[in-house]
Structure 1
Amino acid sequence: MSTARRPAASGPPQPLLTTMAIVASCAAFVVIGALQALYGPAIPALRADYGIGPAVAGLGLSGHFAAAVVGVLVYHLLRARLGHRILLGASYLLMALGAVVFATAPDWPVALAGTLVMGLGFGGVDYGLNHLFAVAFGRRSTAMLNVLNGHFGVGAIAGPALVGWLGAEHYPGIFLGLAALCVLIVSTLGGVASREPEPVAATASSGTGSRVAPVIAAFIGVYVLHVAIETGVGGWEPTHLEAVGYAATTAATATSAYWAAMTIGRFVVVPLCLRLPASAILTVCCAGMAGFLLLATLPSAAPYAYFGVGLAIAPIFPTCLPWLNRSVPSVGAAGAYVMAASMVGGVAFPPLLGVVIDGLDVRALPAVLFALAAICLLISFRLRRNAPDPNGPSTSVPASAGTTSPSEVHT
């Protein structure tokens, strides 16, 4: 794997990310994937340790996401002043500190405070590394972002599996181990460039100058809707499958397969990202989401259809970030806006979907989510028209694609 390059004022190009930093970044995404996925399996032990109900225990995950939104925005606001190296280091240390507090807390309020600290660091790492990968690899950024976010899925699968193997009562040791990994990753930050190149004014010729706000709003719509579908399936698939006649064990297995598909899809799409523009990938993914959700209305096909939904959702988040940066290069905060919006959607949508399902029936889940996917598909068509991606991958990837020329770097 080659290093990502940035232009220097004189002399040879300096790397935005060295090979070691790229590997460490993927390891960091395994860590944050595991941290996010560990709350659910740890809830039985949390209730036993602190004498709390399930709703109170669930505040840990809600607090984590709320703090993560703040972490994203703070990182963005301080990025130009402090640089990536300092902010990533601080984010890793916040995650480590939060994990230690959560694992050793004497009571629930202290443990909840630990989740907030962890969430701040989580948001910083999530935004900082996604942003770096979006600007560091030129035409290969979409592929590299799918690789990076695929490792998040690896962590999200490995974390609960580790809890299942060791037992929920050993969750403090698992969190302490992840804290130690965060501290180790800090030692690799010498391979991360503190500063990025200045935005290239010539790249604003995409025709979106007078439509910046609508373009950003459309990307936010895609992010909010696909996260809503992602969390909707992940949270309600077991209940829906049981309601249409499947055994609880089958429903649980199918849901695990859905989350595995989210990881598989990101790795599978990597070679396609080098050949197809992001706009085409988004449209196919949105159409796939809609088609598989429609298929999920058939009880006999539902478990397999949900696996297909996972495959279709998987590339959307990492594929759209470089396209967004290329479409509105003059708005450095665009990435922060859409990531923060997607996190807010992940917190707000599950309760809203619960209200809708209470008013209808859980059997209506695929139809409700299909409607959201159809809207997402319409937005993808609008983006293809209003935010063309002339700098995206073409059918011929140059041999020098491993490095980034000044004209290929956007912030």
Structure 2
Amino acid sequence: MRKIKLSLNDMLLLLVVFGGFLVFGFSENIKGPAIPRMQADFHLDEGQLGLLLALNSLGYLVACSFTSALSRRIGIKWTGVAAFGSMAISGVLMHVASGYGALSASYFLMYIGNGMLEIGLAIMAARIFTRNTGTMMNVAHFFYGLSSIVAPLIAASMMGWHAPGGGELGWRGMYLIMLSLAVLPILPSLWGKFPEEELQTSEAQASYHALLRDPIAWLIVAILSFGVISELAVGSWLVNFLEKAYGWSMGDASGMLSVFFLFFTLARLFLGPVTDRIGYTLSVMIFSAFSGLCSLAAVLIGESGAILFAIAGAGIAPIYPTVMAMVAKRYPRGTDTAITFTVTLMGIASVLGNLFIGYIIEFVRGMFDDSEGGSAPGQLIGLQAGYVFIAGMALLCSVCCIMLYAVLRRRGETV
């Protein structure tokens, strides 16, 4: 009987983890088709869009800074419930947002929920998946990719639905409905029994001091930061790029983003065992280089090479879960602290990365508008410059992996 009870609890925890990643994927990737509509409604330029996305990342960062302490105080269960609840509330606030400030505040709250959720899910997964960690981390994150495949298409379709009061549902109604799905994982959360933090506060503080002095920890932070900037930027900027650079329709551009997430999801499903077999550091080195080269080639080739934007998803997908597996194996004692340290600093990089992309586009476009006397050449080259930056982040991720691999191999500590 005890065995059946434990099995039921394990299933509940898996429902929370997998369901959490499904909701996370929706909340992150419905914004691709919505952003051009928000931009038109509020008359925003690319710099303001970059600032909006940077503020979102700041909300994520704020959540990362307190989630570990919150989970020790109230438990992972209630931390997860609070994360899901804040995401649902942000959908309501987004629906009634009357200006850029209110929209930014709503997005900020959504990303606080996302940050709380990601830290909680990462800690939970690290405790549950103690064997074949790379494979299981990738399978868990597969559900993020699964929802990400359909998120842009669902978002684009829902925005055209007829609302009960007349007119189209629009991006406001779409966000209200999609973020309401965050309520569903609360049900197994309330029923399940969660593993709790075992590390004492003094030990956690000591671990933070040790991590700050550990060059390997900083290299892992750099690897994750560059990889995640490149990954998240695709969901934010690809639809915008294809619409404005090549004149694609919203449906076609959203379809390409969904193809990106198809490659992304299949990679997480099938490449997890590869990471366990050849090692986490070497895997990330190869995958991130592949992604960066695909994105760079897509920009250089032009519209005929647009499929390479999607293929790049196969390389960028395993980076985050594989780095989480790397952290769990590298720091078996104090894994929670190491995850919080790594993901929090990654959040800082995400703030800067989103900000840079928007202003790089604006700056380069301004240069060529002045020199060419027209907006079309400047807009195209500006968008291309922004995407070259995205590709460069993936390549820098690979370079940092080479450095980490060299250090670990010299010490005989490769993971």
Q: For the residues of structure 2 that align with 1:114 and 1:240, how far apart are their CA atoms?
A: 24
1:313 Cα deviation after fit: 0.8
Query: Residues 252, 82 of structure 1: CA spacing in aligned structure 2 closer, same or farther, 3 A cutoff?
Result: closer
Q: What's 2:311 paired with? A: 308
Q: Does 1:175 align with 2:197?
A: no
SS at match of 1:139: coil
SS at match of 2:119: helix
Query: Residues 92, 382 of structure 1: CA spacing in aligned structure 2 closer, same or farther, 3 A cutoff?
Result: same
Matches within 5 A, 1:149-168: 149-167=141-159
Q: What's 1:34 paired with? A: 26
Q: For the residues of structure 2 that align with 1:88 and 1:294, how far apart are their CA atoms?
A: 38
Query: Residues 142, 352 of structure 1: CA spacing in aligned structure 2 closer, same or farther, 3 A cutoff?
Result: same
Q: What's 2:260 paired with? A: 258
Query: Residues 233, 34 of structure 1: CA spacing in aligned structure 2 closer, same or farther, 3 A cutoff?
Result: closer
Query: Residues 44, 391 of structure 1: CA spacing in aligned structure 2 closer, same or farther, 3 A cutoff?
Result: closer
Query: Which shows bigger deviation, 307-316 or 59-68?
Result: 59-68
Among 269, 277, 285, the residue aligned to 2:287: 285
Q: For the residues of structure 1 that align with 2:8 and 2:214, how far apart are their CA atoms?
A: 29
Q: Does 1:327 align with 2:326?
A: no
1:92 Cα deviation after fit: 1.5
Query: Which shows bigger deviation, 254-263 or 94-103?
Result: 254-263
| Conserved? CA contact 2:149–2:259, under 8 Å | no
Matches within 5 A, 1:166-315: 166-167=158-159, 169-170=168-169, 171-189=171-189, 190-198=191-199, 213-231=214-232, 248=248, 253-293=255-295, 295-296=297-298, 297-299=300-302, 302-315=305-318
Q: For the residues of structure 2 that align with 1:152 and 1:175, how far apart are their CA atoms?
A: 18
Letter in 2 for 1:277: G
| Conserved? CA contact 1:135–1:141, under 8 Å | no
Q: What's 2:62 paired with? A: 70
TM-score by length of 1: 0.75
1:157 Cα deviation after fit: 3.4
Higher helix share: 2
1:67 Cα deviation after fit: 1.2
Among 392, 400, 414, the residue aligned to 1:379: 400
TM-score by length of 2: 0.74
1:12 Cα deviation after fit: 12
Letter in 2 for 1:96: A
Q: CA-to-partner distance for each residue in 1:26-52, whole Å, 9 max, x for gaps?
A: 22222122122233433466578xx62
Q: Does 1:54 align with 2:44?
A: yes
Query: Residues 213, 119 of structure 1: CA spacing in aligned structure 2 closer, same or farther, 3 A cutoff?
Result: same
Q: What's 1:23 paired with? A: 15
| Conserved? CA contact 2:239–2:254, under 8 Å | yes
The alignment of Structure 1 onto Structure 2 pairs a total of residues equal to 370
Query: Residues 163, 294 of structure 1: CA spacing in aligned structure 2 closer, same or farther, 3 A cutoff?
Result: closer
Q: For the residues of structure 2 that align with 1:13 and 1:98, how far apart are their CA atoms?
A: 36
SS at match of 1:19: helix
Query: Residues 87, 242 of structure 1: CA spacing in aligned structure 2 closer, same or farther, 3 A cutoff?
Result: closer
Q: What's 2:204 paired with? A: none
Q: For the residues of structure 2 that align with 1:43 and 1:242, how far apart are their CA atoms?
A: 12
Structure 2 residues not aligned, in runs of 5+: 161-167, 201-209, 369-380
Q: For the residues of structure 2 that align with 1:118 and 1:152, how far apart are their CA atoms?
A: 16
| Conserved? CA contact 1:240–1:365, under 8 Å | no
Q: Does 1:346 align with 2:350?
A: yes
1:69 Cα deviation after fit: 1.3
Query: Residues 327, 271 of structure 1: CA spacing in aligned structure 2 closer, same or farther, 3 A cutoff?
Result: closer
Query: Residues 64, 113 of structure 1: CA spacing in aligned structure 2 closer, same or farther, 3 A cutoff?
Result: same
1:106 Cα deviation after fit: 6.0
Query: Residues 140, 356 of structure 1: CA spacing in aligned structure 2 closer, same or farther, 3 A cutoff?
Result: same
Query: Residues 184, 368 of structure 1: CA spacing in aligned structure 2 closer, same or farther, 3 A cutoff?
Result: closer
Query: Which shows bigger deviation, 230-239 or 273-282?
Result: 230-239
Query: Residues 76, 183 of structure 1: CA spacing in aligned structure 2 closer, same or farther, 3 A cutoff?
Result: same
RMSD: 3.8
Query: Which shows bigger deviation, 84-93 or 30-39?
Result: 30-39
Letter in 1 for 2:322: T
Query: Which shows bigger deviation, 318-327 or 368-377?
Result: 368-377
Query: Residues 58, 224 of structure 1: CA spacing in aligned structure 2 closer, same or farther, 3 A cutoff?
Result: closer
Query: Which shows bigger deviation, 254-263 or 213-222?
Result: 254-263
| Conserved? CA contact 2:79–2:116, under 8 Å | yes
Q: For the residues of structure 2 that align with 1:150 and 1:31, how far apart are their CA atoms?
A: 12
1:263 Cα deviation after fit: 2.4
| Conserved? CA contact 2:133–2:276, under 8 Å | no
Query: Which shows bigger deviation, 128-137 or 142-151?
Result: 142-151
SS at match of 1:343: helix
Q: Does 1:128 align with 2:128?
A: no
Q: For the residues of structure 2 that align with 1:322 and 1:165, how far apart are their CA atoms?
A: 36
Query: Residues 373, 29 of structure 1: CA spacing in aligned structure 2 closer, same or farther, 3 A cutoff?
Result: closer
1:312 Cα deviation after fit: 0.6
| Conserved? CA contact 2:138–2:272, under 8 Å | yes
Query: Which shows bigger deviation, 156-165 or 220-229?
Result: 156-165
Q: For the residues of structure 1 that align with 2:398 and 2:128, how far apart are their CA atoms?
A: 29
Q: For the residues of structure 1 that align with 2:393 and 2:186, how far apart are their CA atoms?
A: 40
